[in-house]
Amino acid sequence: LALVQALQSMQYNKRLSKDPLRFLIGAVSVGIVNGQPVLDLDYAQDSTAQTDMNVVMNDQGDFIEIQGTAETKPFNAAQLNSMLSLAHDGIQTILKAQQRALHATEQPA
């Protein structure tokens, strides 16, 4: 958000002619804890997770990064899909909050 606001300010003050950003991004952690997929692992969950994964997506629904590790036992395709679905939903919530915050602080053109 800070980067977007800084770039908007630079455009407003004519220091940039166009916005260099192509999209917003959001990131979350997901994992398998006690056999269940979990969104936004806290420290206690992360330290005991069977699987730990970080997912980054843009506001077009495209993946930028998926990084996951089977910490204590392998995970299967159904668990992977479940974690990716949770991550998608969590990131959509983050992106909507970013868009609301940006619209609330827009500078006049």
Interacting residues of 25 by C-beta distance below 8 A, sequence separation 6+: 56, 57, 58, 59, 64
| CA dihedral angle for residue 79, residue 83, residue 84, residue 89, rounded to 10 degrees | 140
Identify the DSSP state of 61: S
Is-above-0.85 flag for pTM? no
**Mean pLDDT, rounded, for 33-45:** 94
Name the band, by pLDDT with cuts 50, 70 and 90, for residue 104: confident
Of 53 and 11, the structure prediction assigns the larger pLDDT to: 53
Which pLDDT score is estimated for 12? 87
